[in-house]
């Protein structure tokens, strides 16, 4: 991508959000480490630089600081939150501990409407603050363009140098017009066009894949999930018959999952698809196992075995493709106060037998999840796959508490199919993070007709979430809940009771296991 915005990461929890917002403005953005040398940054030829926020204070002994030469590159700079303090620190201003921490909603009053950042925006804006330190002396060449109740310097500008500082966070949804501020920065200030689109990306990615792979063959593990499905469609567009996908049926898939994958990728896309029905071996190994961790380990290990054997049968491939995404490869910034942040290992093929060596193709590694979905649409992958809810690798096994048996799988598959069908019919399926059924291996008494029953319970779970890390239970309408319960109890043999889970995460998890 010729036009790009470079984001220096100082450890903010929102760094990736900044990158996504820039891309939503159709401008490519890339996240790099805060202390990347200015010469390396210059070599990337950025149209603009954004300094992320971060948990530190510029005065902290181990504060993450940039190479000071970045301020002499002649490139526009937008400093956000901690980024403002950096602008001040390196340009002769002063930052002190604020008497009051400014946290949460605030109102921004724009004092200088000629500032390009606030073009076409009202004079007063709702913004989201999260900072303790504040600017007390303006850096040289800067002037105030907006204030809040608590800060005289909420937005500052050095017009000659095209440097801007915002004490609030324009990238978060709690700053409702923030995206327009970011758009003004990347388009009006940095002069970027709207070139980052998935339509353009397809051409670029196809070229890159061809250049990397040449005439060699590539294997991809297709799970039917969003990432591997979109990777399959993209690779197939690039290299056609040089791609073979392996799809393993581990016996804990959802209803019709194997058929849909074969139909979509085998029949419509005409991708070479190796279908491995390993249901029996998975079921045999899971027999008698109730411990959730053991179940996961058995499924993981068996998957590798089945997959490796299938790869040997496919033969001749030099490359293994993976649906690695951008967040998997960004190196977290190891900053004081954030000790758990480690460099991520993205080569998660680990597990394949040591004598099987492959080169990796990762055609989605520069994309965020929302971009992968748009790319999928661009490539004609059906909506039911592109927009489907997350589904765990160990499948229904984590939704059957206790032992996983073929008959329990059958019960849960039928109940789950009803949940998916009714959630789609209600229009809620694509609006929420996840909705599914869980089988509780407890039997209770019921009556059906004149007969007493002694059957399992199905728990219905529906959650909203941004990333699966935290979640709220969704207040499903009563009539939908009623329909779900009545259909499940009437139509799924072996179930006589339904309950609805009203636990949020934390303290609960999304899956029950
Ligand atoms: P928990 O249950 O930990 O789940 O709150 C958070 C999110 O992760 C999904 N999940 C998995 N996804 N492999 C996956 O690919 C797994 O083993 C796995 N376990 C949980 C879960 O569905 C939720 O979206």
Q: Are 489 and 498 in contact (CB under 8 A)?
A: yes
376 and 263 in a single domain? The answer is yes
The verdict on 270 and 128 lying in the same domain is no
Query: How many other C-beta atoms are found inside a 10 Å radius of the C-beta of residue 376?
Result: 24
Q: Within a domain: residue 509?
A: no
How many CA atoms within 13 Å lie on the side-chain side of 116?
19
Active-site entry in 171, 180, 257, 378: 171
Cis omega before residue 329 (within 30°)? no
DSSP 164-220: EEESB-TTSTTSTTHHHHHHIIIIIIT---S---HHHHHHHHHHHHHHHHTT-EEEE
Kindly state whether residues 149 and 257 are assigned to the same domain: no
Cα–chain center distance at 487: 33
**Catalytic (active site) residue 171:** yes
H/E stretch holding 431 reads none
Looking at the structure, tell me whether residues 249 and 118 fall in a common domain: no
Of 189, 215, 237, the one marking the end of a domain is 189
Task: Examine residue 396 and state whether it is found in any structural domain, yes or no.
Answer: no
Q: Would the CB of 402 count as within 6 Å of ligand 1?
A: no
Q: Is pLDDT of 100 > 80?
A: no
Query: Could you tell me the residue range of the domain that residue 174 belongs to?
Result: 4-189
Looking at the 3D structure of the chain, how many domains does it have?
Answer: 3
Q: What is the DSSP string of 446-476?
A: EEETTEEEEEEEEEEEEEE-SSSSSBEE---
- Residue 35 CB partners (closer than 8 Å, separation 6+): 64, 65, 66, 67
**Which pTM value belongs to this model?**
0.92
Residues 21, 117 within the same domain: yes
351 shares a domain with 207: yes
Distance of CA 239 to the CA centre of its chain: 27
Ligand 1 atom nearest to 393, measured from its CA: 13
Q: Residues 240-279: pLDDT tens digits? A: 999 999 999 999 999 999 999 999 999 999 999 999 999 9
Same domain, 425 and 382: no
Between 348 and 194, name the one with better pLDDT.
194
Same domain flag for 94 and 170: yes
Q: Say how many Å lie between the CA of residue 513 and the centre of ligand 1.
A: 10
pLDDT in tens, 159-183: 999 999 999 999 999 999 999 999 9
Closest residue by CA, ligand 1 atom 10: 392
**Per the domain annotation, does 99 fall within a domain?**
yes
Show which of 359, 386, 413 is a domain's final residue: 386
- Residues 144, 210, single domain; the answer is no
Q: How much is the mean pLDDT over the chain?
A: 93
- Same domain for 138 and 224, yes or no, is no
Q: How far apart are CA 243 and CA 317, in angstroms?
A: 9
Residue 398 lies in a domain: no
């Amino acid at each position: 991508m010729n036009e790009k915005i470079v984001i220096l990461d100082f450890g903010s929890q929102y760094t990736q959000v900044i990158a996504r917002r820039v891309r939503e403005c159709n401008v490519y953005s890339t996240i790099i480490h805060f202390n990347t040398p200015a010469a390396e940054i210059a070599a990337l030829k950025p149209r603009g630089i954004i300094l992320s926020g971060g948990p530190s204070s510029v005065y902290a002994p181990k504060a993450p600081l940039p190479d000071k030469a970045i301020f002499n590159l002649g490139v526009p700079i937008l400093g956000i939150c901690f980024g403002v303090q950096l602008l001040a620190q390196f340009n002769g201003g002063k930052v002190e501990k604020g008497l009051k921490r400014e946290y949460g909603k605030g109102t921004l009053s724009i004092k200088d409407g000629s500032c390009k950042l606030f073009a076409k925006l009202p004079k007063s804006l709702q913004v989201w603050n999260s900072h303790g330190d504040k600017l007390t002396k303006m850096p040289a060449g800067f002037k105030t363009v907006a204030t809040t109740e608590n800060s005289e310097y909420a937005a500052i500008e050095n017009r000659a140098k095209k440097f801007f500082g915002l004490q609030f966070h324009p990238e978060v949804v709690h700053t409702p017009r923030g995206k327009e501020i970011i758009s003004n920065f990347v388009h009006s200030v940095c002069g970027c066009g709207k070139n980052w689109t998935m339509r353009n990306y397809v051409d670029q990615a196809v070229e890159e894949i061809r250049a990397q792979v040449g005439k060699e063959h590539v294997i991809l593990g297709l799970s039917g999930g969003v990432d591997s499905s979109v990777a399959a469609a993209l690779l197939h567009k690039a290299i056609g018959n040089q791609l073979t996908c392996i799809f393993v049926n581990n016996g804990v898939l959802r209803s019709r999952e194997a058929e849909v994958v074969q139909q979509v990728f085998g029949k419509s896309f005409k991708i070479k698809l190796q279908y491995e029905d390993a249901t029996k071996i998975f079921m045999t190994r899971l027999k008698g196992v109730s411990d959730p961790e053991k179940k996961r380990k058995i499924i993981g290990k068996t998957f590798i075995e089945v997959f490796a054997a299938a790869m040997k049968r496919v033969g001749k491939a030099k490359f293994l493709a993976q649906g690695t995404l951008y967040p998997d490869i960004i190196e977290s910034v190891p900053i004081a106060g954030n000790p758990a942040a480690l460099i991520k290992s993205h080569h998660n093929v680990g597990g394949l037998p040591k004598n099987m060596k492959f080169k990796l193709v990762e055609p989605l590694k520069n994309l965020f999840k929302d971009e992968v979905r748009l790319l999928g649409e661009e490539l004609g992958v059906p909506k039911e796959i592109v927009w489907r809810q997350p589904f765990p690798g160990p499948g229904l096994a984590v939704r059957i508490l206790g032992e996983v048996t073929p008959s329990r799988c059958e019960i849960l598959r039928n109940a789950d199919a009803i949940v998916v069908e009714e959630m789609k019919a209600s229009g809620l399926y694509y609006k929420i993070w996840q909705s599914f059924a869980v089988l509780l291996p407890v039997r209770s008494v019921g009556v059906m007709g004149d007969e007493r029953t002694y059957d399992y319970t199905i728990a219905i779970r529906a959650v909203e979430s941004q990333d699966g890390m935290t979640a709220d239970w969704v207040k499903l309408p009563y009539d939908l809940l009623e329909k779900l319960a009545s259909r499940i109890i009437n139509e799924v043999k072996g179930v006589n009771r339904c309950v609805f889970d009203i636990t949020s995460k934390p303290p609960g998890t999304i899956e029950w296991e």
